[in-house]
Amino acid sequence: MRRSQRSLDFQMRTEGASAVELAIVMPVLLLLVCGIMDFGNIYYQLHNVNEAAREGARKTAVSQNLPTAVAETTSFIKTNYNSQFNVNVVPSPPVSGQDVTVTVTNSVTIITPIISVFFPSNPYTVTGKTVMRVE
């Protein structure tokens, strides 16, 4: 065989190797990217519920009208953050000089099937809780 014939035979034997390598590596890369997106979404939602609980507790703590403070706080959180948030204010109605606890929860759906195995439930519930003294 001539030299050019040998190199042509070698190319024909290895031209499918990159497709096989891609088929092996692609699922791992997709899992990694989807996992990063899932964890990023959970962290973002956790930040949102914590911030909403803090803002809600502050709004309740400085409220001039304590009997309507719970409704105002719930409306404020659902309007300014997310209408899907579940808001719980204890005590209801708040009492001046005592602590008020605002708990905000939200469900986050995990889209990556393998990642969802690491969480106790899907959708996963994130919770934010803040305690402040009512002025």
Q: What is the DSSP letter of 5?
A: H
The answer on pLDDT for 73 being more than 80 is yes
* Residue 9: predicted pLDDT: 62
Q: What is the mean pLDDT of the chain?
A: 87
Q: What local confidence, expressed as pLDDT, does residue 16 receive? A: 76
**What value does the mean pLDDT take over residues 67-89?**
92
Q: What is the pLDDT of residue 2?
A: 57
pLDDT of residue 99: 93
CA distance 65 to 81: 22
- pLDDT tens-place string over residues 82-133: 999 999 999 888 888 899 999 999 999 988 888 888 888 889 999 999 999 9
Res 4 pLDDT > 80:
no
Mean predicted confidence (pLDDT) in 55-68: 90
- Amino acid at site 33: V
CA distance 106 to 122: 12
